[in-house]
Structure formats: structure tokens, C-alpha cells
Amino acid sequence: MLNSNELEVLQEDFDRDGFVHIKGFMTSDEIDEMEERVNCFIRDVAPSLPKSIAMYVDFANPTSLKQIECLDKYDQYFSSLTTSSKITGLAKALLHDDIVPKGVHYFSKPPGLSKATPPHQDGYYFCLTPNEAATVWLPLDDMDERNGAITYVAGSHKKGVLSHEASYVLGFSQGVASDHPSEFGREVVCRVKRGDCLVHHSLMIHSAEANASSDRQRRAVSSVYYAKRAQVDPELQRLYKESVERQREALIGQT
């Protein structure tokens, strides 16, 4: 567990930059158990889930799994992860508020099959007022530029909710409507080790390149928390859903 002095430093960094990188956040036993639970979920549960929940680059190829939504709804281990004091204590400190757990998700970029993740703000999907939330991101593998490390745009969380447009990337329907996200802040590539932790604000612009390696995995588990003061805005949510539906119809029209 982080002590009060460590949390205070992280708060300052998070408030300034919109993200923090905590090395060695998870113990070896903790990250080993998480990996085992993920593997069991993929083997036993994922095949029966709807395509909108368990997303594959190629649904005929089980090795192409790229994303699973809301593991906590289907498995007690991931449900308990949302209330882990180690994780919730960090999220509460960084958001300066009590928190509301909003789901545990799995992300993968299979080598040779993945696409780049477009620059985006999670908060655009969340439709919150005020847009105050945090994603706690736990890598199961070492990550660098070769296999798809996350790139943050430091300070971009202070720019508000930015315009997004259709990305046509599975699992990330919208991306920031800018060819140069660096106009909103300083780009930082986060090279992480298995067991590290990244936490980013809901308005942080972030992206990741495809996994260009031939044999390295790129897997992570994330847990999302809304600040208690944040509420879903029905009008923003309606507009977002309409945008997603237009994108879906455009994709259907191309087939």
C-alpha cells in the first residue's frame, strides 16, 4: 500500500499531467493471480459472450481476442477487484473524492493482428458532468514502442472534452478530431513493466501503436472509477449513441 506522502506526490503529478506511472504497484503473486484469472476467463467465459462484449479481430480466430468489456459482471474475482482497497485508495486520492466503480476491462494487442488505438479521451465515451473519472491500468506484459506502449498527452486533461470523430477501430469507435494531438500537450510514451500501474484522467488524450512484434503479447486489465460528484449527462449520452449508430450504419454500408 502507498503511504500518505507517496499519495500526496502522486496527487500533484496527476493534477498537473493527468496521469501517473507507479512502478511495481502489484506484487509478483498479485499479477500472477490476475494473469491466471484472465486466462481462465478467456477459456471458460469469453466464448459464450456477445460479440459486443468479447471482441475479436477475427471471430473465427480465438487467438485474435483484443478486448473484453465488464469482466466484473461475469466473474467474482474481477468484481472484488473493483473494491480492492489498494486500487480504490489510489483512485480516491487522485480524484479527490469518493468513487463509483464502473467496470473492469481487458485489452490485448495480438502480435501481427492488432491495429493502432486512435488518440481519444475516455471521458468522451463516459458523458459525465463534471467529467471527472480515472482509469487504473494494470499491464500483464512489459510494453514499449515495439508492442504498443501507451502514449499520453500530458496536460491535455485540462482542455475539456474535445471534438471526436469516427475512428472505425474495433472497441474505440471515436477518436480525437485532430491530426496532431501534441497541440494539446506534451506527448509521453509510457514504457511499463509487468506489475506496474498507470492511472489516467478521463479527459487525458491517449493512444497506442499496433503491436509490431512477432511474438510479444500486449495485455492489460483496467478498472474504471467515476468521481462521486460526476453524473452521466443524458443529452451528451444521447448524442454519443447517435454518433456511434451513424458509424455502425456507415460500416454496414461499406460491406
Q: What is the pLDDT of residues 203-238, one digit of tens each?
A: 999 999 999 999 999 999 999 999 999 999 999 888
pLDDT at residue 243, rounded to an integer: 74
What string of H, E and C letters represents the secondary structure of the chain?
CCCHHHHHHHHHHHHHHCEEEECCCCCHHHHHHHHHHHHHHHHHCHHHCCCCCEEECCCCCHHHEEEECCHHHCCHHHHHHCCCHHHHHHHHHHHCCCEEEEEEEEEECCCCCCCCEEEECHHHHHCEECCCEEEEEEECCCECCCCCCEEEEECHHHCCCCCEEEEEECCEEEEECCCCHHHHCEEEEECECCCCEEEEECCCCEEECCCCCCCCCCEEEEEEEEECCCEECHHHHHHHHHHHHHHHHHHHHHC
* pLDDT tens across the length of the chain (255 residues): 788 899 999 999 999 999 999 999 999 999 999 999 999 999 999 999 999 899 998 888 888 999 999 999 999 999 999 999 999 999 999 999 999 999 999 999 999 888 899 999 999 999 999 999 999 999 999 999 999 999 999 999 999 999 888 666 666 667 898 888 999 999 999 999 999 999 999 999 999 999 999 999 999 999 999 999 999 999 988 887 887 777 666 654 554
CATH number of 4-254: 2.60.120.620
